Amino acid sequence: MTITDAYGYPLTLSDTGALKPWRGAVRAFLAHGRATPDLVAETLRLAPDFALCHATHGLFCMLLGRRELVGVAAEDLARARAASAAVGVSPREAAVVDALADWLAGHPSRAAHRLDAALADHPADAFLMKLVHALRFVLGDAAGMRRSLEGVERAFDADHPERGYFLGCRAFALEETGDYALAERLGREAVALAPDDAWGLHAVAHVYDMTARAEEGRAWLETNTAAFSHCNNFRFHVWWHLALMYLERGDISRVLELYDEEIRAERTDDYRDISNAASLLVRLEIEGVNVGGRWDELARLAEARVDDRCNIFADLHYMLSLEGGDRREAADAMIASMGAHAGEETDMGRIAAAAGMPAVLGLEAWARGNYFSAFRYLDRARPQLFRVGGSHAQRDVFERLAIEAALRAGLCLDAERLLRERVTLRGGLDRFAEVRFERAERMRRATRLMQDEALRAIPA
């Protein structure tokens, strides 16, 4: 039968009792709630022929970037198509089913375009809004995120029940495209309207990170922990943001405390959790901090993911973990896997060729102390690195490595070039940049002194 959802659009449901858990699943998805998978499962228990929910489960599996879940997603697609044939689906529901098929075929960008087209026809659908936002985030498509949200802004007016979550997504897209002032304002409004909007909360944290306002960022997160305490593993990412604020202050003991007690409170092998941990350890090591044995558990987990080839962002953080834990054989296998991936005619294959391969070679060179090669490879990857996905703040670890490699290789002019580009992008001068600008200037002064004829010894 066809019933109407909370946004006024038709749902094809055989059991009206499934509407409540489906509604709960959508709200939990919007809030990054840990109850999301249980609510999806309950919906399917009550309505096993609900094609939209089967496709949703499949897309959630693909978003997790785990090789073993690709088969699960394929089974979800088969069930969704069988349900579609048996009971029918609306055009909106069909678009989600077809988007899953697109991604399974290796084309998440095509899936995103399909979902955006469905959203344009159903502009008040908060589920579609969030789903395409998540997909474009994985693709590193900040402009696409912003364009998608701007296209449906009128539908999410003051009367829309999910306006707060919409504003949280809007704030993040604005931050990623450099509109920091408006991003901060809308992010704060998002949390005021939806106090559990962890995404909106974290969008404001991104603004503070990018504009080098660590004290404001620290206060914002520490006074709003209730906004992410309900979250799934996304809460670990918000704690990671707080750790970045303390790193900016130079409070290393607090950073390590947050790492041990919050960021790695649960030692999962979810790539997002590993990326939080690995990138923070790299930042600490760049600053000369001995992180002890913390790499070991990350390296063990990363070894099992060498051949996943689902997400280039994940692969690069697995590589950081392998190199940090001195797993040379597994790191070599990761390079080989990335090379094989780069030969595939898929979205991720093209990203692997353009950004993943030079980046992973740069990480290998860094780990071996070959800083000149590390800089050259990482600098080559930089123009396309956004395509691996994630945010500016997350990808900044690779910027830091490239800059530090340039300095250690004696390439002060290249280091200054990257530093200037980084400051322009970020809209603020942070402590990392200040220290490296000073180092580069000292190197240039030393070079001038060595080249000064007047200071050279007079030959006998």
**Alpha helices for 250-345 (secondary structure H):** 252-258, 271-286, 294-303, 312-324, 328-342
Tokens for 401?
């490595």
Q: How many Cβ atoms are within 10 Å of 260's Cβ, its own excluded?
A: 11
d(CA 363, CA 159): 49
Beta bridge partners of residue 3, listed in sequence order: 11
The answer to whether the pTM exceeds 0.75 is yes
The helix/strand/coil state of 403 is helix
Q: What share of the chain is helix, strand, coil (3-state, %, to 5)?
A: 75, 0, 25
Whether 125 contacts 9, CB under 8 Å: yes
d(CA 375, CA 433): 17
Whether 318 contacts 309, CB under 8 Å: no
Closest CA to 170 of 142, 196, 138, 192: 142
Closest CA to 287 of 326, 251, 323, 331: 251
Closest CA to 91 of 61, 114, 124: 114
Tens of pLDDT along the chain (460 residues) come to 789 999 999 999 999 999 999 999 999 999 999 999 999 999 999 999 999 999 999 999 999 999 999 999 999 999 999 999 999 999 999 999 999 999 999 999 999 999 999 999 999 999 999 999 999 999 999 999 999 999 999 999 999 999 999 999 999 999 999 999 999 999 999 999 999 999 999 999 999 999 999 999 999 999 999 999 999 999 999 999 999 999 999 999 999 999 999 999 999 999 999 999 999 999 999 999 999 999 999 999 999 999 999 999 999 999 999 999 999 999 999 999 999 999 899 999 999 999 999 999 999 999 999 999 999 999 999 999 999 999 999 999 999 999 999 999 999 999 999 999 999 999 999 999 999 999 999 998 887 776 665 555 555 4
d(CA 187, CA 197): 9
Residue 152 neighbours by CB under 8 Å, 6+ apart: 119, 120, 123, 124, 129, 166
